[in-house]
Structure 1
Amino acid sequence: MEKFVSWNVNGIRAILRKDFMAFFDREDADVFGVQETKCQEGQVELDLPGYHQVWSYAEKKGYSGTAVFSKKEPLQVVRKVGLPVADEEGRVCACEFEGYWFVSVYSPNSQDRLQRLPIREEWDAHLTRFLDGLAKDKPVILCGDLNVAHKPIDIDDPEKNAGHAGFTDAERDDLTRLLDSGFVDTFRYLHPTEADVYTWWSYRERARRTNAGWRLDYFLVSDALKDKVAAASCLTQVMGSDHCPVTLTLDLSAPGRS
């Protein structure tokens, strides 16, 4: 079994002042993906014995950023994918391992009044092409804050939030296209009808108290890994960020799809 964890930490320096290290040690993940690190090179030093650290920084200080911490050293790392919003904002951190690619991403938010929706749609199309290219080499494990609730079951009040950033038809359709290109939403694969499970809650509305949330954080895997998915969960009780961690366990020794 191999265990994977992903968490939008909403600032790595801030969460280090909370219980991040205790959580990290307790989970003992083989690979740990992080999003929204909000730091530059040299601004934080993580003491992670037994782990290799790969960071993808945004050019803008205190903004965006992704990282991957892994017990095995990556065979290669990709941070630049040829799209300004990804490359300038540190939104992709892809690591190749012996049996798979592991990709930590932080999708752009379409923002109020959908100001950034065109950039978001360009990102979605480019990300799908990028992942499809990786998948031609070996299976892909994608984790991260995709900034979209895919289905009505993935959001607390779908009627109220219809058309808002993160729940537009365009964003939801883009995620459907990514899945249709050969990927599986691991949480929904194992829990197709489980409702009221979210990964993000607004600080402004104190939404976590009433569980008025959105499921924005995912583990997607290539179809070739579908039959190896042993567990997938949203750790809704873990605090420290406005997002909660999500986990995935793969039984890579299980027979795969032919």
Structure 2
Amino acid sequence: MPKKGSKRNSDGSNENSKKKVKANNKKDPELKEAGDSNAEVVKTYPVKEYTSDGRKFNLKIVSWNVAGLRACVKKSGHEWMFESDADIICLQEIKCDAKNAPVEIKDRTDYSVHWNPGEKAGHNGVCLLSKTEPLSVKFGIPEKPEHSAEGRTITAEYDKFYLVTCYVPNSGRGLVRLEYRKTWDEDFRAYLKSLDEKKPVILCGDLNVAHEEIDLKNPKTNKKTAGFTLQERDEFKALLKQDLIDTFRKLYPDREGAYSFWTYMGGARAKNVGWRLDYFVMSQRLEKDLCDSVINADVMGSDHCPVTLLAALE
């Protein structure tokens, strides 16, 4: 979340710059306006339920940085989660353990619930809810225990794939954790490669990087902001070079204004001054099974919105 990386102006730019980038008013032909009052802000699109060869989805995964699970539930965010009827729900930045989690989540009987809260109370943490009990569940990067304390990842193994949900470390205000972020990225990349050698991988979560300039409102003024440094973007490129695909950009390479995070400052969400930080990345050999990768920008409850993957696994 860039808001933790550096202080930002209401236009989403770095505080050290006064430059602004004009909004691109180009209309997407598939765009549906979600109500006249929010027509230029809330963007929803027809959901594609079928693969390019006509197979209907049989797997639905939701991923959401809830910015505090208890706070999200108080805002009724959990209602959307379960109304989505997803097979798997992955949550990041939950900021609580199972003991202190809302009963609306931990007492669900239709999902098995798995927690990796991290050691520091009220910080970070991830949670995975699954209708089908995974074959195995692992926490952190198994071969790199030095990354385990912050509660960053859960890996669930299923018959046909591994699912990894992740809350990638933020490089911090003033980029004080940029070097640690590089180490994390390298170790995490190696871990995903080891999984992909066994089964296809689906990675989801807040990856704390806007990959290309199209993925944030004001790229020119954020080159030295956490989440858009050249190093972080290059590390993400290196990840994709491991025969992985960014599912959203694979389907929608030119779609603009598609963001999943908006700072609370300056009415950024109302102006759609945002960043695309939340992803579904999958093994390239699953591309044929991809139906849709959706940014649920109209769903409230956090400074991030959920993202959804639809796939038809054979």
- Cα deviation, residue 164, structure 1: 1.0
1:1-258 matches, within 5 Å, as 1-44=58-101, 45=103, 46=105, 47-81=107-141, 82-83=143-144, 86-253=147-314
State the shift of 1:86 in Å. Answer: 3.1
Answer 1 or 2: higher relative contact order, Cα 8 Å, separation at least 6.
2
Q: 1:80 and 1:184 mapped to 2: Cα distance?
A: 22
In 2: Cα distance, 1:10 partner to 1:147 partner: 13
Aligned counterparts of 1:21 and 1:189: Cα–Cα separation in 2: 29
Distance 1:112 1:72 in 2: 40
Deviation at 1:234, TM superposition (A): 0.4
TM-score normalised according to structure 1 size: 0.95
Shift of residue 112, structure 1, vs aligned partner: 1.4
Q: Judging changes above 3 Å, is the alpha-carbon distance between structure 1 residues 194 and 185 closer, same or farther for their aligned structure 2 residues?
A: same
Q: Residues 18, 60 of structure 1: CA spacing in aligned structure 2 closer, same or farther, 3 A cutoff?
A: same
Flag the structure with larger Rg.
2
Larger strand fraction of residues: 1
Q: Which secondary structure does the structure 2 equivalent of 1:158 belong to? A: coil
Separation of aligned partners in 2, 1:168 and 1:138: 32
Q: Tell me how far apart the structure 2 counterparts of residues 204 and 126 of structure 1 sit (CA, whole Å).
A: 34
Question: Is the 1:56–1:91 contact (alpha carbons within 8 Å) kept by the matching residues of 2?
Answer: yes
Do 1:146 and 1:217's aligned partners in 2 also have CA atoms closer than 8 Å?
A: yes
Q: Distance in 1 between matches of 2:125 and 2:79?
A: 22
**How many angstroms does 1:85 deviate by?**
6.0
Gap regions ≥5 residues in structure 1: 254-258
C-alpha displacement of 1:206: 2.2
Provide the rounded CA distance (Å) in 1 between the counterparts of 2:123 and 2:173: 18
Rounded Cα–Cα distance in structure 2 between residues aligned with 1:225 and 1:22: 30
Give me the identity figure in percent: 42
> Aligned pairs, how many?
253
Distance change in 2, residues 1:164/1:84 (3 Å): farther
Q: Distance in 1 between matches of 2:280 and 2:166?
A: 11
Q: Secondary structure at the match of 1:42?
A: coil
Deviations 1:122-179 (A, max 9, x none): 1111110010011111011100000000000001011011121100000000000000
Q: CA offset at residue 57 of structure 1?
A: 1.3
Asked if structure 1 preserves the Cα contact closer than 8 Å seen for 2:97 and 2:115, the reply is no
C-alpha offsets along residues 90-148 of structure 1, whole Å, 9 cap, x if unaligned?
A: 00111001111011100011111110000111111111001001111101110000000
1:32-55 deviation line (CA, Å, top 9, x unaligned): 111001002311132323111111
* TM-score (norm: length of structure 2): 0.79
Which amino acid is 2:213 matched to? P
Which letter does structure 1 place at the counterpart of 2:147?
A
Q: Judge which range, 82-91 or 202-211, deviates more.
A: 82-91
For residues 155 and 140 of structure 1, the distance between their equivalents in structure 2, rounded to whole angstroms, comes to 26
How much does 1:80 deviate? 3.0
Give the letter aligned to residue 78 of structure 2. Answer: M
Distance in 2 (CA, whole Å) between partners of 1:181 and 1:163 is 26
Contact 2:262 2:275 in 1 (8 A): yes
* Partner Cα distance (1:190, 1:109) in 2: 27
Unaligned runs of 5+ in 2: 1-57
Matching residue's letter, 2:92: Q
